[in-house]
Chain A
Amino acid sequence: MAVMQTRITPSRALANQLWDENPIFRQVLGICSTLAVTNLMFNTLLMCVGLIWATAMSSLTVSVLRARIPQRIRMMTEVLIISVYVIVVDIAMRVWFPEVHKDIAAYVGLIITNCIVMGRLEAFALRNRPWPSFCDGLGSGLGYSWMLMAIATVREAMGFGTVFGRPLPAAEAWWHQWTIMVVPPGAFFVLAVATWVARGYAMRFQAAPAGGKEGEE
């Protein structure tokens, strides 16, 4: 993978991030800020849109500026670039969704230190041209989001009996609330099961890809 990275095509960069190098179950990065809001699908969706915007735009910016960023202070520069885009998200959310913003404002700010953003900048955008970098950032945001939306769907359906705030069909007849899905530990369990299923599927049906690099040493 590392060899290919210098000549990777934009569409390949995007597709890689969706499954082969999925941020959640392959790299296990950036779980921090967003997992906390996964007990409601709408909040998760807003956070995911914010994250996609931040990864894609900061990848693009860093890639455009990559020849001009001094090596010694590059982390600091990257953090400042990311925070500019996150502040845009923060202001937009305050204007359009003031109710939701009240609940999740602190988590929106935390997109700045989300490892997946910084990780893509360090691993890809610093060494690639702007267009592939943008696709890579977009892909990692999307790869991250579809996993999180899946987790949020499970948690909201089991915890509140709703999907996007609408009750499940005939919920009162058969549905029973799982309180654990509403509280934080539920997120850990659902994420663990999601990782398990995705990796198990990859192990069984795909010719043994690199597998998890993090956390297994």
Chain B
Amino acid sequence: MSVLAQGLAQPNGGMSLLAIFFAAAVTDNILLTRFLGMCSFLSISSQMKASVGLGLAVAFVTACTGAINAAIYWYVLAPLEAMGVPASSMQLILFIIVIAGFVQLLEMVIERVSLGLYFALGIFLPLVTVNCAILGAALFMINKGLRVADGFVYSLGCGLGWMLAIVLMAGVRWRLRTAKVPPALEGPGITLIICGTMALAFMGLSGLIK
């Protein structure tokens, strides 16, 4: 057990919030180790400004819907399941409704409150709905048995980790403009190779946890 992990460990034996956050954001990065949110990642990471905007939107939506979904699971679905109702099949549909509904609501609120922000976010909000990282974070959170507070921290970590990856990639791709890439490898091909290299680097940090 490393020194850092000892420092992070809670007396009650569970993982501390900081450890959950760090694992979700870096060593278990949802984009680089689980390939979630690749579609918007591959197309948007060619522009730096857009990457930051989309990254923020994803982080915010993931964190909020993560907490809502954890509450739904632990206070509604789990008790129903315990009573013998096969509620776990409803999990997928409920989660996706929460996410789509939350994004729709957020769009309406932003439109009322700040038109500037509304136009700045533009196309990103609808893109967030179909970003699998958000549903993925919710499903993995339930798999890990995280409760509401832990789930919120985990989701926040996932969202910020996704943002970290896309912003890093946008930076690399900016430098790539002056590089000579084989024509058949341009665009997605070379981006995937960089992803692989980045994933290796992130994996190298996994010794910090456990």
Residues of A within 8 A of B (CB): 25, 28-33, 35-36, 75-76, 79-80, 83-84, 86-87, 90-91, 105-106, 109-110, 112-115, 118, 180, 183-189, 191-192, 195-196, 199-200, 203, 212, 214-217
Q: Which of B36, B92, B104, B135 contacts A87 (CB 8 A)?
A: B92
Bound Cα distance A29, B43 (Å): 10
Find out whether the CB atom of A106 lies under 8 angstroms from the CB atom of B193.
no
B 101-160 contacts with A by CB, 8 A: 104, 126, 129-132, 134-136, 139-140, 143
Main SS at interface, chain A: helix
Find out whether the CB atom of B188 lies under 8 angstroms from the CB atom of A215.
yes
B 27-42 contacts with A by CB, 8 A: 32-39, 42
Find out whether the CB atom of B35 lies under 8 angstroms from the CB atom of A199.
no
18 contacts between A and B (CB under 8 A): A28-B43, A31-B42, A33-B35, A75-B129, A105-B139, A109-B139, A112-B96, A113-B135, A118-B130, A184-B199, A184-B203, A185-B200, A188-B192, A188-B196, A195-B192, A196-B184, A215-B42, A216-B186
Residue of B nearest to A24 (CB): B188
Residue of B nearest to A32 (CB): B132
Residues of B within 8 A of A (CB): 32-39, 42-43, 46, 89, 91-93, 96-97, 100, 104, 126, 129-132, 134-136, 139-140, 143, 182-193, 195-197, 199-200, 203
Find out whether the CB atom of A112 lies under 8 angstroms from the CB atom of B135.
yes
Bound Cα distance A215, B43 (Å): 4
Q: How far is the CB of B194 from chain A (nearest CB, A)?
A: 9
Q: How far is the CB of A50 from chain B (nearest CB, A)?
A: 13
Which chain A residues border B186 with CB–CB below 8 Å? 216
